[in-house]
Every structure is written in C-alpha cells, then in structure tokens.
Chains A and B, each alone.
Chain A
Amino acid sequence: MTARRLPNSGHIDRTQALSFTWDGEPLKGYAGDTLASALLANNQQVLGRSFKYHRPRGLMSAGVEESGALVTVGQGARRDANVRATTQELYHGLVAQGQNAWPSVRLDVGAVNGLFGRFFSAGFYYKTFMGLPPFEWGRGTGMWMRYEKIIRKAAGMGKASRAPDPDPYEHAHAYCELLVVGSGPAGRAAALSAAQAGLDVVLVEQDAVLGGDSLSQPQARADLAQEIKTLSTAGVRLMPRTTAFGLYDGGVAGLLERVTDHVATPAPWMPRQRFWTLRAQYTVVAAGALERHVAFGNNDRPGVMTANSARIYLNRFGIRGGEDILIATNNDSAYSCAQNLAQAGAHIKLIDARDTVPRQLRAQAEQSGIALHTGMAPLNALGTKGVTAVELAQGNPGNWRQAGVVECDLALISGGWSPIVNLLSHRGIQPVWDAQQACFLPAPTTEPLALAGSAAGIWDQAACVRSGQAATQCALAHLAGQPVPKADQPSGGWEGAITPLYEVSVPRRNPKAFVDPQHDVTTEDIRLAHREGYVSVEHLKRYTTLGMATDQGKMGNIIGLALMAQALGKEIPEVGTTTFRPPYTPISIGALKGRNIGGHFRPLRRTPLHDWNLKQGGTMTMAGLWHRPWYFAGTGETIGDAYVREAETVRRTVGLCDVTSLGKIAIQGPDATELLNRVYSNPFAKLPVGKARYGIMLRDDGFVMDDGTSWRLGETEYFMTTTTAHAGKVMAFLEELLQTRWSNLRVHVTSVSEQWAGVAVAGPLSRQVLESCTEDPGCVADSTLPFMGVLETTLKGGIPCRIARISFSGERAFEVYVPSDFGPTVMQALWDSARPLRGCLYGLEALGALRIEKGHVTGAELDGRVTVEDAGLGRMASDKKSYIGSALRKRPDMTRKNRPRLVGIFPRDRREIFNAGSLLCAADHVEGYGEGWITAVTHSPALGHWIGLGFINGGYGEWQNREVIAADPLRKGNTGVEIVSPHMFDADGERVYG
C-alpha cells in the first residue's frame, strides 16, 4: 500500500499540523483528521493484531464498524483500550499504541497462533477442555480455569488501565419534540423542515462534524456550512460528537456526548463525556447505512477495505489510499468511488460481480480511464503484511472459477449496504429482509418514530432529502394526534439491481476467509457449526461468537447469516437475524456512573445534630442513607473501649443519643385510631390520650414488617415512630392502604421525619437531666409522666417539645423530640445538664449493646422472614381483633413449634468471643445449615462477657442445657455456646421504672 496525502484536497485544516505518536514513533497529521486518517496519510499499514490468530490488520473502514484498527489511546490511568482509530479525533500530543501484540503489531510473536489455526476454530474451547476427564470426576472446573487463563492470554484485545479513572463524567437530561439521529442529507432535511414547522428539534451526530455522507462528496463544503448555519438559525439544537446509543420506552433516547475526547488538555472542570437521557415526542432515525465486506481468501489483509471508506479518506481527508487499486463490487455504489480515485490519479481496475452493468455507469468508467470487468469477484488476497495482489474469480455467485491475478496495493470491496436498523431493534421492531435491495429493512411500526435516508434503504440523495421531509410530516401528524401518513419514498434508487454476493470461493481451495474479523470468525467456522448441528442463528452466534465483538456484528453479521442460510438450504428471511441491543457503539462505564461515585455514590442523610455530634468527637457510621454517631471515643480509646464505657455509663448514670433517624409519621383524622388498630398487631383501640404504645406491624403475608411506637397526642392525632431502616416502607404502605383499600377512612398520614430532631435520654439519672431543661421541672415527674407516658411541653427558652417515657435500653429513659432547627440548641442544653452527672454521649454501637442485653429486636432480627412468635413477641399479637397479616400469620408453617425462635447466646467459656453470622449447630452435628444463626453480638458490660442474639429451631425451651456450637468456618471456627433466654439483663424489666 502506498497511501499519500494529496495536496489541496479534503476538508482538513492544513494550517494546523498536529504531532502524535504511534507505537512510539512521532508522526504528524492535521486538525480535522481522525487517528485513522492520520495513520493512513503516514502510510502506516499494520495497525492491529487479530483476536485469536494475531494476524496483521489494517484499516477496514472509516467509521464505527471498524474491526481492524482497534488501538489503545492515552497513557497511565487514562489508557483507553480497543478504541476505533476511525472514530478517534486526532489531537496534539495524542499517544496511540497497537494492541494484542508483542513486541509490536508489526512484529508479533503471538502470530504463531495462526499456524495452529484449527485449534481455534468454533467451539474449540468447549469441545477440548470440557471433555477432559476431570469434568467427569467433578473436579473439572479447576482444570478449565487453568486452561482458560492460558487461552485468554493467547487471544485478546487491549488492556484497560487498572488505575482509577481520573476523568469526571456527567449525566444530563433534555426534552424535545423531535429527535433526529444522523446529520446526513435525510437527517438535515428532517430537522430543517421540522424546525421551520415550529418544532423543538434536537439533531445528534456521532461524528465530530455535521454532514454525514455529504462530507465524503468531492464538491466543496460551502453549501454544507451554509445549510448547517440555517439549521442553527432555525432553532435546531445541534449535538455533534453525540451518539444515540439506544432507544427506550416512552420516546427516551440514550445519548453519549464525547465532550473532551478530542482535546489535548481539557479544562479540569469539563466532563470527559456526558450521558444524556433525552425524552423525545417523536424520533427520526436517519442513521445511514454501512457498507458490507465480502468473504474471500485473506480478506482481512491490511490494504483491503470497503470502497466507501476509500472515498471518505480521499474526499474528506485528502488521502489517496493507494496507486494501483482494485475495486470489487456487486452494486452501483462503488462507481463514484472509482471515479473519484481515478480523478485523483490512481490506476483503477474495477470488477463487478454482475453480468451486466448499467450503460451510463459503464460509460462513466470508460471516460475516467477505468478498466471495468463484469462477472468477476475477488478470490484471494496475496501479500503478508499488506495486499500486493488479488487472485480473481470468474463466473457468478455460487459458481466461481479461478481467473488470474491482479497486482494492486489497495483492494476496495463493496458487498452491498446494510441500513442501520439497530435503534429500531432496540424498540423490538424486527427487521425484514428485502431481497431486492439485499438488506434488512425495518418493519412498519406504531412507535412514534420514522426512518429516513439510507437507513430506510434509500440510496439516491435527492430521494433521501425527500424522505427526511416526509418523516417530519409523520412527526407533525403524530404530535397533532392525527393519523400518521405512510412513508411514500420507496427503498432503492440504483440504476442497476444489486447481485447478492457474500462469499467467493472455488472448490479445493480454502484459504481463511473472514466473516467477523474482530472475533476471527471464518466462513469455515460457520460451516463447522452447521455440520455440528447448529440451526438457530442465536445458537450459531453464541457458538462461533459471530457478531459478539465490540462492533456487535456491524461488519460480519449479514455474511454470517447468508452463509448459515446457504448451509441450511434456506433463504435469509427464514434463518432470521439476531436482535441488536443497546448500546449501538461501546460506551464507557465512566459515562454510566456519571458523578455517582465516592461520596456521591448514594444520597447522604444528615441529622440536624450532625455537626454537633462531630464537634463532640463522634465517629460516624452509615445506617441506610443516614450518617449516625457510632461511638464517641475519649483520648486513647478504641471503638471497643468507647462503646463499653458508653453502655456502662447509661446503666449507671445517664446517656444521650441522637435518634433523629427514626421514621416519624403524623397520623391525623377522626379515623386515626381505627387505622392504627388495623395496622398494628397489638390492640390500639383503647390507648388513652397522653400515652404511647409499642406496636408491631405485620405484612399482608403475616410476617413482621416493622416495629415502633405510636403516641396518642389527642383524640384524633397520633405521632408514630418507625425503625430507621423501614421508615420509607411503612409510610408508603400506610399511603397505599388509605388510597387503595381503605379510601373511606378519614385519616391523613404525613411524614414528619425531617421536621423533628430526636434525642434519647437514657439512664437512672435521665429524669434529672430533663428536669433542668424543661420550663416546668415537675412535668417529667413519675406521677405526671409514668412509663409510656407522653407529654407536649416546652423546654427552657420556650422551645416546643414532645417527650415520651420510652426505653430501648431497658433503663428509665425518655425520647425527646423538638423541631429540627432547635436540635443543636436542645442537645447542648441536655448535654450541659448530663455532663455534671457524669453522663455520656453514646452512639449506635452502645445502643446495640444495650438492646442486645435486653433482647430487643431490630432490623438484624426483623429480616422479613420472622413471625411475631419467632421474635418472642407472640403474646403481644391480638387474637381478638383482625388486622393486617392476622389471617395469614396462622398458616401451618408459620405456627409450627420448631420454627427458629429468638434466643440469647452466651459463650460456654465466658472468655470466648463469637461472631454475628455464625451458624448455630448441635455440638454432635456441625454440618449444613445447622439449627439456627446468630444475628447480633456485643460485649456486655453488664454481664462482663460476650453475648449474642440469634434464632434457633424450637427456641430456648428446646435448647437450654444442650451443647451448641457457633460455627464460623470462614473466620473464627467453632465456639461452644449456651442458649439462654433473650432477656439477658434485668429480665423482669424493673429498671425502666427506675
């Protein structure tokens, strides 16, 4: 191949030379070049090594379908593998490297794989390694994994960087009435006519420059520039460098905008890529068509590419790809390419697989000095690292005989055109085979979208423009709610009909002919799969990996289908096609994640006391989305020291804990009591005003959903608290009940979780703390506020508050709620009075220790598989009333005696430690799932040793005085434990009365 940049042609900016390196070699290109065109202009032939056989590969195309020039761009953490050189814009300082080769793509040791080609044929891995004896013994997996490693080393693609991606990405949203995909003649016509009709239009183009096929026309681009200016003036939002990678329900399109992939040193505040979710009322797909290859011997040699790509390199980039060029076609489209190249001074030999060629085309060829031969096709490319000649075949498809050799340094192939129907396939619109045009066309659809241009199989440019305008008429009718007109632009537009041509071969010669060059799938692989009994295209695809490379079969799918059809003795439509799925072209994981990483991975909820807690030296932990204080370590204290001290202090004096994250729901209305009585499993009908009650809610299926308290503030008003974890679920469930099932109940539920800050004041001295903070110290006396009493009063400074005497720790305790903004002030006041009493602040870890000692259940126990009885709360559930879950909680399996029940756990040797998550097993049968499990453990300051909560079949009654093992095979091993009552501390509950 002797490619060279021609003087004064193409649409590159010759005043802006750009330096870049290819495999360490400094080269030059121009602004407006792609990496591919710059490499071609520098006459670089071997740009890659193939997946399995390490065959040398060069440019095969000029676009997204590229399967040869897959390269690695960038360095260090910004190294990006498998980049198509044809779509990477050149920038100053770009560093590109060949991949899947050592030491370089030009001299690759791995090429020896090619000599053992038969070992890499379809299904080879499965057949060879899956059949090995170890598989029969059941130990095969390890064997397979060992071989797989070797195979993966031999076959492969570029290597991704292992460093974290340093680039920012962004998510963006947009809306429009009409989305136009593609800025070729059809797309521009659709966008302009729609904008002129007053529609809000977005035009996306994957290329850096708008124009589509118009960019590869030899004429000057002045008209195009004017046309794009008109579009912009008409109000069309133009989005170049943006790929519509998927179409989804409801007119949603996924767009990927490459914001700085073409910039040498992007500004640090610019995202590398932007992931758009665009909602469009109507979509016009004018995505164009891709030119097909033909399978013939060594058709993957560098220097073999599609005819249209040579036309693009010539007219857009000013590069003539060769001097002696063979063009092989089966349709009219390659003739203009031949003419352009001849005018650029190349010697052209044009062979056409058809017997007859339209007279006008023949005359044009002759005028341009092109030697035209009909009834001929390429049979085998010669040359190793680049094509030097092509053996020809004569005859007609299916009946070829060898016919001489033609020397050439570039072989251009046109095997017909495949409209880009991928986006429609995303919408479930299966393409239909059009035998006349030898391509798949989309079936009619009721979706709000229309096709235009060559995506609809229209080859004539003027007809493409008309089809774009017609598509706009469809959009306008749809938006006006009128019947959508049928497309009146017929497909086609060539003077002579295409002759289908997928493969050229002659008997007794079988050089490698590639169908899917990116995955090294050959014609022989397809036939082998057929011989082995594969008949469905979906199976064929998976067995041969045809179409499963990064180009998703853009290059080889149709040839593969045609060969399969031929082998089966069927027609292509009978064989069908595989479904294209998003994304149309690869998109980076970075774009999908956008800014949702690190601290932004999920929303963060802070309580109003957050800063206050931090100021007091609190260490935070995640509880769902909430940040809650975990422990408050004193000087030199570990977490273990801190929580033990905190828990001890609560039992001895008093402790304060931020409990704002509990769910809080205002329940108001004449039927509020009725609602609570229906959703709680325990009675609520007779709860007096000024009292709170602990309640357990079940789901419809009878399992425990959540527990919490409800405070009766008035005749028709309650204040409900839920667990932190289930706050949202409980709220949505109450709303569901009131709106869908019990719409006659006169009740409003309102989430007030954000409105109230909450503090638990717990410990024998808790009342003293409150006394010094309330305006009326007497209001918290035992007589006015007994256990489970509720009070609305004011704190010093006139701060309104709600206090209930509720205990989670088992000590005399209060929950105090104040409007959120008063949170820090009130917390400070409480702390000021608690500190002199030798009180403490305590966090989630101490809270856990206290509640485990008491056997109080929480999220770790209420995991959705637990009945009220399992949780040891069976006595609370009413048998006298009906409530949510009351019918189904009586199912036989939920009432059987040997269900896992809540128990307490002590280590047999009190000095021992054990882990949450351990399985509980009978000592003589440590096996399988055991008899139960441990949900929570803590060191108990009150008892002086480690304790746990868990579930075991049959519960305490069944296991007391029996030897039990806590099995933790992956961490600690076995620990001997005792099963005890879950109420491990103050079993009679005297301390709450203090």
Chain B
Amino acid sequence: MLRIPCPFCGTRDHSEFSYGGDASVDYPALDAPAEAWLEAVFQRENIDGVQEETWQHLHGCRMWIIVERDTRTHEIHSVRPAHPGMAQTQSPERGPADRS
C-alpha cells in the first residue's frame, strides 16, 4: 500500500485516492488537430524511474494532486496540488499540512 501525503489533508492510504494518469501530458486545445490529441491520449512512456502522475483524493478533499513517484520503489518524492493556483498558495515555507 502506498501512503500519499495529500497537500490538503496530510498522509493518507492510497485506497482513499484514485489514480488519474500521466501528469506530464499537456492536453492540447479542444480545437487542436486529431494528431495532437492522439499523442496526448494514447502515447505513453513506460517509465522505469521517477514519473509525475495525477491522483485524486477521492474519498478525502477531492482535490487533484500531482505525485512524483518512483515506479521501481514506489517512493514518493513530492506531492503538490494539480491546480496551479492552489499550488502557488502552498509555498514551501508553509509546507504540506501533514497532520498524519
């Protein structure tokens, strides 16, 4: 079982979260050509190492977060809100609200 430090709730079991997908994908504009969408929707790297992935704290605050995780060890390097505005309000000084 992974333990994910939610930036809003603190460290929680991964069973509270649902996996989204590859957080490095830049989704194209809605009117972008099909090729760009094919790339974004179907083309994935199978990373052996650290990757960024989106998770939602589904059974918690329901926020989408970006988790930097090592696919080999499951070690979690960092977690931040997926919403860029939210991420800004959580400056490093304030740190994640870890009330595990």
Contacts and interface: CB of A to CB of B under 8 A. Distances in A.
Contacts of B82: 739-740
Interface in A529-587: none
A419 B27 CA distance: 52
Contacts of B41: 700-701, 888
A739 B58 CA distance: 13
A990 interface: no
B1 A700 contact: no
B30 A883 contact: yes
Nearest to A700: B41
A738 B85 CA distance: 12
A887 B3 contact: no
B6 to A, nearest CB: 13
Contact of B83 (A739, A884, A887): A739
B32 interface: yes
B30 A428 contact: no
B18 interface: yes
A957 B36 CA distance: 35
Contact of B85 (A248, A743, A888, A891): A743
B67 to A, nearest CB: 12
Contacts of A678: 30
Contacts of B11: 250
Interface in B41-100: 41-42, 54, 56, 58, 62-64, 73-74, 81-86, 100
Q: In this complex, which of A678, A888, A890, A891 has the most chain B Cβ atoms within 10 angstroms of its Cβ?
A: A888
B3 A891 contact: no
Size band of the B side of the interface?
Answer: 35 or more
Contact of B64 (A701, A735, A888, A891): A735
A279 interface: yes
B27 A741 contact: yes
B64 A739 contact: yes
Contacts of B64: 735-736, 739-740
A882 B30 contact: yes
A277 B54 CA distance: 25
A732 B42 CA distance: 20
Interface string B19-41: 01001000111111110111011
A249 interface: yes
Nearest to B40: A700
A886 interface: yes
Interface residues of A, number: 28
A763 interface: no
A649 to B, nearest CB: 41
B2 A249 contact: yes
A739 B37 contact: no
A605 to B, nearest CB: 15
Interface string A226-253: 0000000000000000000000111110
B74 A249 contact: yes
B34 A888 contact: yes
A332 to B, nearest CB: 39
B37 A887 contact: yes
B56 A736 contact: yes
Contacts of B83: 738-740, 743
A508 B48 CA distance: 53
B34 A250 contact: no
A252 B34 contact: no
Interface-central residue, B30, B36, B38, by most chain A CB under 10 Å: B30
A891 B34 contact: yes
Nearest to B5: A250
Given A736-B56, A887-B37, A888-B38, A250 B30 contact: no
Contacts of B74: 249-250
A277 B3 CA distance: 12
Interface in A806-850: none
A444 to B, nearest CB: 15
A428 B73 contact: yes
A732 B3 contact: no
Nearest to A749: B62
Nearest to A890: B34
B18 A732 contact: yes
Interface in A732-779: 732, 735-736, 738-741, 743
B37 A888 contact: yes
Contact of B20 (A248, A277, A736, A882): A736
A379 B91 CA distance: 72
A282 to B, nearest CB: 14
A277 B27 CA distance: 38
Contacts of A252: 1, 3, 13
A277 B18 CA distance: 20
Given A248-B1, A249-B3, A736 B54 contact: yes
A883 B37 CA distance: 12
Contacts of B28: 887
A131 B93 CA distance: 70
A252 B100 CA distance: 14
B53 to A, nearest CB: 11
B41 to A, nearest CB: 5
Contacts of A700: 27, 37, 40-41
Contacts of A250: 1-3, 11, 74
Contacts of A736: 20, 54, 56, 64
A306 B31 CA distance: 75
A678 B28 CA distance: 13
A884 B30 contact: yes
Contacts of B29: 882
Contacts of A743: 83-85
Given A700-B37, A743-B83, A743-B85, A887 B56 contact: no
Given A701-B41, A736-B20, A277 B1 contact: yes
B54 A882 contact: no
A732 B82 CA distance: 14
A279 B3 contact: yes
Contacts of B42: 701
A740 B11 CA distance: 21
A170 to B, nearest CB: 18
Contacts of A249: 1-3, 74
B51 to A, nearest CB: 16
Contact of A886 (B2, B13, B30): B30
Interface string A700-732: 110000000000000000000000000000001
A743 B64 CA distance: 11
Nearest to A252: B1
Interface string A874-901: 0000000011101110110000000000
B34 A887 contact: yes
Nearest to A750: B62
Contact of B32 (A740, A887, A890): A887
A700 B33 CA distance: 13
Nearest to B87: A743
Contacts of B38: 888
B31 A882 contact: yes
A279 B32 CA distance: 46
Contacts of B63: 739
A886 B37 CA distance: 10
A891 B40 CA distance: 15
B90 to A, nearest CB: 14
A886 B31 CA distance: 8
Nearest to B42: A701
B12 to A, nearest CB: 10
Contact of B33 (A277, A741, A883, A887): A887
11 contacts: A175-B100, A250-B11, A279-B3, A700-B37, A701-B42, A732-B58, A736-B20, A738-B83, A743-B83, A743-B85, A882-B29
Interface of B: 1-3, 11, 13, 18, 20, 23, 27-34, 36-38, 40-42, 54, 56, 58, 62-64, 73-74, 81-86, 100
Given A249-B74, A279-B3, 12 more contacts: A248-B1, A250-B2, A277-B1, A678-B30, A735-B62, A736-B20, A736-B54, A739-B64, A887-B33, A887-B34, A887-B36, A888-B37
Q: Top 7 A-B pairs ranked by shortest CB distance?
A: A250-B3, A882-B30, A882-B31, A887-B37, A739-B64, A739-B83, A249-B74
